[in-house]
Structure 1
Amino acid sequence: MIVVFVILGGLLWLISLLLLAFSAWAFYKLARLLWAKILSALLRPGTAQITAYEISTPDPDNQDAQDSRPQIRLELDCERHGQHFQISLGPLTCEELFPALDLPAHHVACWLSEEDWQQLLDKRWITIACDWRQHKAILTNQIRKDRRLLLVSFLSLSLFALIVTLSLLQH
């Protein structure tokens, strides 16, 4: 009987260690994600010049393809404090690209000819935020989403702290 209790106690101890390790790993991943969102939300939007582009149309017969509209990959020339650096952006859908070009998004416009794409994108400036630390570009609508997410998270955390404080004051 004692052996059974020792074995069960050992198993519970091992399971608690595994749960502790998993929760530490999950907290670490969540903290990294939150830190990345904070850094991207603090980026200032600016402009970058399109130096090259590539348009690819997914094969509709491919089972992994969720959308058959063209996807655009851009090469950008960003400037920060007088220093220029090249950044890739994409693949983007037309709905993501057109607002960054200050154009109205329309699903029919995705099917432009190669000449029309060239006229639209060649040497064009795009509204974007360039993250020079990670050498990546972020669309300004993504920055707005990150800012809203951080605001909601901050308000939720503040409300939670207020509720806990008020419940402690009542006792």
Structure 2
Amino acid sequence: MGFSDAAILLERAVARGVMITCAESCTGGMVAAALTDLPGSSEMFDRGFVTYTNDAKIELLGVLPATLDAFGAVSEEIAREMAQGALAGSNAQIAVSITGIAGPGGSEHKPEGRVCFALATATAVHAETKEFGALGRANVRLAARDHALGLLLGAISN
């Protein structure tokens, strides 16, 4: 997502009176940084949560240990709980979350480049998984950031 796309997101969120929050793991705050790059971003960005460890996900976002045990940190189930926890812990109307394997490495069951996303509002939660592939750590993180911003833009534009 380029600078002009971020500007469109800012414009639409402000016009609709929507505040955004994010919960990030593998992107380490890249979504929050992108959302705050533009002047006036305080009109649409409430706060961000960088929850890299499982303990941080549990303590800051209310992710359930049982969900982590059953599905692992890189799962749509965890992405959902992260987004819902960010929404509950903020003054925002929409939350996006990201959890994934940026690399290097991965496993047979959870390969490098697998990233799970969720988008939560007061009435709905949508989760999805993207397989970006072994693009290298920096490129997986950038692709994940851009996808999350695209999810927000799509949700706010509808």
TM-score for the superposition, normalised by structure 2: 0.23
TM-score for the superposition, normalised by structure 1: 0.22
More helix by share: 1
More strand by share: 1
Q: Which structure has the greater CA radius of gyration?
A: 1
